[in-house]
Amino acid sequence: MRIVVLDDAQAVARFGADTIGEQLSAKPESVLGLATGSSPLPLYQELISDYQAGKISFKSVRTFNLDEYLGLPGDHPQSYRHFMNKQLFNEVDIDLDNTEVPDGMSKNPLAFCAAYEERMKQAGGVDLQLLGIGRNGHIGFNEPSSSLVSRTRVKTLTRDTVEANRRFFAPGEFQPHLAITMGIGTIMEARSILLLATGTDKAKAIAEAVEGPISASSPGSILQMHAKVTVVVDREAAQELK
């Protein structure tokens, strides 16, 4: 595991964008695994700037997102499909048909999850998986106690995660407690993984993932078993590392 500690969130974003840029110049038809949430937002801004400056192109890229709320249609402002279109896809030259986000309105989520895995396999597997980490150590929506070999499936979100994400929903608005998420086993099949975390409220999750025992109570800790992981954190998120 490579740990990179940088001064602030902006430097983390720049490092992440450079890593993705290197991946795309080495393999323009890369398959990227993508995440939503606050952590990758500045990185997506950097990628858009790089695209506008003519430094990168997403023309041949395929993407698979980690997760989506069950019960939200793709045009709902809090859906992860909406987030990805707004924060990245609509701003670069990617073909939207080459972008996949789990279908939160699927009539048969179990069959959908199996088909999602199959499409990832047929695309040749994920070359670079981008991850954030939850305050409770989750990756994707694989909450603590998730099987470390799990596949794409429906998960119930913990109270902590629902609480952490409440900020995105209006008071009284329906907030899903279920999500479709890539499994931990699915994530571990990516050829390389880039995990970003910033801010003090991620310090404990980062220390447990990087230095703690490998345990289902801290899903991110399984990344210690992956051959090519880079964890990029700012000083605040690094503060509980030994």
Q: Give the footprint of ligand F6R on this chain (CB under 6 A).
A: 35-39, 66-67, 132-134, 138-141
Contact 230, 130 (CB under 8 A): no
Beta carbon of residue 139, minimum distance to ligand F6R (angstroms, whole number): 6
Q: Provide the minimum distance between the beta carbon of 67 and ligand F6R in the complex, in angstroms, as a whole number.
A: 5
Residues forming a β-bridge with 180? 68, 154
Q: Which residue lies nearer to ligand F6R by CB, 56 or 101?
A: 101
Active site residue 208: no
Q: Using CB atoms, what's the residue nearest to ligand F6R?
A: 132
Question: CB 239 → ligand F6R: shortest distance, Å?
Answer: 16
| Closer residue to ligand F6R, CB minimum distance, 167 or 242 | 167
67 included as an active-site residue:
yes
The question of whether 76 is a catalytic residue gets the answer no
Q: Which of 46, 100, 103, 143 is catalytic?
A: 143
Tokens describing residue 139: 């990756």
Could you count the other beta carbons within 10 Å of the beta carbon of residue 145?
10
Which of 50, 103, 136, 208 is the catalytic position?
Answer: 136
> For the chain, what's the residue count?
242
Query: If you count DSSP H runs as helices and E runs as strands, how many of each does the chain have, helices first?
Result: 7, 10
Q: Give φ, ψ of 48 to 5 degrees.
A: -65, -45
> To the nearest whole angstrom, how small is the minimum distance from the Cβ of residue 101 to ligand F6R?
9
Q: Which helix (H) or strand (E) holds 231?
A: strand 229-234
Q: Is 136 a catalytic residue?
A: yes
Tokens of residue 31, six digits = 């398959």
Q: Given the residues 103, 117, 138, 234, select the one marked as catalytic.
A: 138
**Element containing residue 5 per DSSP (H, E):** strand 2-6
Q: What residues are annotated to the active site?
A: 67, 136, 138, 143
